[in-house]
Structure 1
Amino acid sequence: MTAAPEDRFFRQECYIDGRWVSGPDRITVNNPATGEIIGAVPKFGRKETAAAIDAAHAAFLLWREKTAAERGEICRKFYQALMDNQDALARILTIEMGKSLREAKGEVAYAAAFFKWFGEESRRVYGDVIPSPWPDKRILVTKEPVGVVGSITPWNFPTAMIARKAAAALASGCTIVAKPASQTPFSATAYGVIAEDAGVPKGVLNIITGSAAAIADEMCENPKLRKITFTGSTEIGKSLASKAMLYMKRVSMELGGNAPVIIFDDADLDRAVEGAMISKYRNSGQTCVCANRILVQAGVYDRFAEKFAAAAKKLRVGDGLDDGVEQGPLIDDSAVVKVEQHIEDATAKGAKIIAGGKRHAKGLT
């Protein structure tokens, strides 16, 4: 099942300088639950990224002059649009990413909350008065918007991660060029529709899809772009930060997690299992804070393992659009292969499989 063609939030073009633009080279996008091709987006590179940065830079000169109240009102409109269209946006998210519709709806609300919070905070960007060592001088500190921001976001929270970055940028008076993951571009291009509805001036919010390497290189090297914000793997984050530092650009990096769950002998095992299930299986285990190992003290190891395996076996697996589904597919086949490699490594070192251990009969991934 695909997004309905008449769904106005489902856009297969990029949003640059207030216009919908496309190109001859395309990136196809699959529904990970069915393998069905649901659409395609432009495969843009450095030239188009430079154009988006030019548009954002021109818009910045005017956007920064908006009052905090005006910028906050735009953020409020984003919040309201996300909440008013929660079902449609969640459906797009589930189709391209795979998570259950219930989780997708929660993510849209989570994304909306960023616009609400940052919009309210825009009124409270206070400065400082510093005691002066000179009797005839005062020292004042004012906070100014950085300029054009480039954001690169992952596929696991395609609606929320853009919101976290775009809301902060817009509220503070910055403009933004946002590059979403190629696996999940449609949750991002939907923001172009919302920007039009909210009356965002052209060039303030730009969404570009395409070659990650080419777009990132242009962001790092283009002098009109002043800050890069990235959520993704530690490996890519290190590379991106090192390139940005060559041009003395500000960076914000949210990189890979390393999250153990530790259970001691005196733990309430039922609560421990409940917490571990939430931590491990949120978004089918595809978050940066999901548990990647569970350490259990010897005295409760067997009982915890039994209870945890029983809980895992009860999870309902399937297409995220189906009623009651709790676990959708992994994002793509390479993710499945990675899990299989972990299983092979663990069993080779003495681990015993007590639940699962192989691909589910229902899914491609």
Structure 2
Amino acid sequence: MYETYGLLIGGQWRARGGAGVIEVTDPATGEIIGAVPAASAADVEEAIAAAGVGLKAWRATPAWVRADVLHNVASLMAARSEEAARCITLETGKPLAQSRREWSLSLDQFRWHAEEARRIYGRIVESRAPGGRIEVSHEPVGITAAFTAWNFPAFLVARKVAPALAAGCSIIVRPSREVPGTAMLLIDCVKQAGIPDGVVNLVVGHASTTYDPIMASAAVRKISLTGSTAIGQQMIRDSAATLKRVSMELGGNAPVLVFEDAQVDQVLDLSVPVKFANAGQVCVTADRFYVHETLIKPFIEGFTARAAALKLGHGLDESSQMGPLINQRRVEAMEKIIADARARGGRIEIGGARPPGQNKGFFFAPTVITNLPDDSVAMRDENFGPIAAITSFNSVEDVYARANSSEHGLAAYVFTRDARRMREAAARLEAGMVGANSYALATAEAPFGGIKASGMGREGGSEGILDYMNVKLTQVVV
């Protein structure tokens, strides 16, 4: 499926890159499913130059025309939904139902930002000067670059490309090497929608050839990353030389507070599918559950029973409910978390190893751990896998302190039927996003992002497009 595309530079697909090829693996089987051209530093420099040419045309394009193009992108994406879902599943391993939902959420980004392009409002401020007027307007920041992770290969690209195009920017997309085909398919929809050559470019390659040219270029004015906190910190340091604007959606370690008035079965019906979606490889997934002591026994029993009932298998099998991890490194990371849990007296209620009979691919069983101290790896760090750590609490003050003890602050969740407590939790939990009786945070109409070590900037909502724009003040005196 990779032969049709390749690198997109200046509006043309290239079947060859200057740095050889990169092989792509199906994580459910461990088998190679194809190869894509790897960009050299010279290829990336060409992409930057092409983005400069595209920028001149695109920023001069009226917002209503840009909006029409983005709507065209969404329509083209809708027509290719099944093709895209299969590609997402082959590259990530997630079940087809989850891949279809990801593609649907991705095209939502283009629909939403198409309308936001028509709503880039300025304002008038009264001037102190007689006969004067202060005008505040917004302009595209310029050439942007997007670095995306592998866990949502369509959605993460869409969430950066759509606002950049709506704002009038050109963009260079550098997707994860594990999942290049999905990005290529999405970018082809953008290309076919009527966008000028050079406005959108795509390069796939090793960090040594794709990262340095972009970060060193003074022409690239903004960087958007979805990745780990460590990579984000490095990008912030590297962007300082050219004073690039940065948006960082980094790691998470979401706490879930289940208060004594919550309905256990309702919480479990929501929590278990969310926890094990994409094999737990989701930055906003629930990692650590703090359950009131009066509910802890039925909560653990119910969670464990539901996790045990999940069917693991290849994502192309419509009956599969959970697929593999993305690679062997993630399997080894899970094993380290389990080893730490055992060493600290944790109880493995279910899972904790590769599932029996799964000799191919990178599967790891749905896992539930209890009786862990707060400084254990499973409680302290983002596990980014199918591991749920469950503990109890009896003090409201104590549970807020424990929930906020993480260096991360991306998402947090609370389950209660008390409206006052919902508002209290939303105010006291240190996170960029709080879900009250819901895990639905990643929608086009809502600003997505975190605080603390989880990053800065927002994607989505009316706030998202502003990260791709400069504010200009004009003082007019007649």
Identify the residue that residue 366 of structure 2 maps to in structure 1.
Answer: none
How many Å separate the matches in 2 of 1:26 and 1:89?
22
What are the ranges of 5 or more consecutive residues in structure 1 without an aligned counterpart? none
Identify the residue that residue 381 of structure 2 maps to in structure 1.
Answer: none
What are the ranges of 5 or more consecutive residues in structure 2 without an aligned counterpart? 363-478
Alignment of 1:106 with 2:101, yes or no, is yes
CA contact (8 A) 1:10 1:190 kept: no
Matches within 5 A, 1:1-365: 5=1, 11-21=4-14, 22-23=16-17, 25-360=20-355, 361-362=357-358, 363-365=360-362
What one-letter code is carried by the residue in structure 2 that aligns with 1:320? G
How many Å separate the matches in 2 of 1:212 and 1:181?
10
TM-score for the superposition, normalised by structure 2: 0.73
Deviation at 1:10, TM superposition (A): 6.5
Deviation at 1:257, TM superposition (A): 1.0
Q: RMSD between aligned alpha carbons?
A: 1.4
What one-letter code is carried by the residue in structure 2 that aligns with 1:364? G
CA contact (8 A) 1:10 1:92 kept: no
CA contact (8 A) 2:191 2:200 kept: no
Q: Secondary structure at the match of 1:82?
A: helix
Per-residue CA deviations over 1:173-200 (Å, capped at 9, x if unaligned) read 1010000001101001113421332122
CA contact (8 A) 1:279 1:289 kept: no
What one-letter code is carried by the residue in structure 2 that aligns with 1:95? L
Deviation at 1:53, TM superposition (A): 0.7
CA contact (8 A) 1:16 1:206 kept: yes
53-62 or 240-249: bigger deviation: 240-249
TM-score for the superposition, normalised by structure 1: 0.95
CA contact (8 A) 2:170 2:199 kept: yes
Per-residue CA deviations over 1:41-64 (Å, capped at 9, x if unaligned) read 122232211110100001111111
How many Å separate the matches in 2 of 1:243 and 1:11?
34
CA contact (8 A) 1:56 1:203 kept: yes
CA contact (8 A) 2:7 2:39 kept: no
What one-letter code is carried by the residue in structure 2 that aligns with 1:54? A
Deviation at 1:275, TM superposition (A): 2.6
How many Å separate the matches in 2 of 1:110 and 1:57?
29
How many Å separate the matches in 1 of 2:104 and 2:164?
19
345-354 or 149-158: bigger deviation: 345-354
Q: Secondary structure at the match of 1:350?
A: coil
172-181 or 205-214: bigger deviation: 205-214
Deviation at 1:279, TM superposition (A): 3.1
Deviation at 1:213, TM superposition (A): 4.3
CA contact (8 A) 2:122 2:137 kept: yes
**Counting helix residues as a fraction of each chain, which structure ranks higher?**
1
CA contact (8 A) 1:318 1:328 kept: yes
Q: Secondary structure at the match of 1:279?
A: helix
CA contact (8 A) 1:60 1:147 kept: yes
Q: Secondary structure at the match of 1:299?
A: coil
Q: Secondary structure at the match of 1:178?
A: strand
Deviation at 1:346, TM superposition (A): 0.7
Deviation at 1:38, TM superposition (A): 1.1
How many Å separate the matches in 1 of 2:21 and 2:301?
48
CA contact (8 A) 2:38 2:204 kept: yes
What's the % identity of the aligned pairs?
A: 38
How many Å separate the matches in 1 of 2:270 and 2:344?
27
CA contact (8 A) 1:261 1:276 kept: no
Per-residue CA deviations over 1:195-233 (Å, capped at 9, x if unaligned) read 332122110110100012432222221011111111111
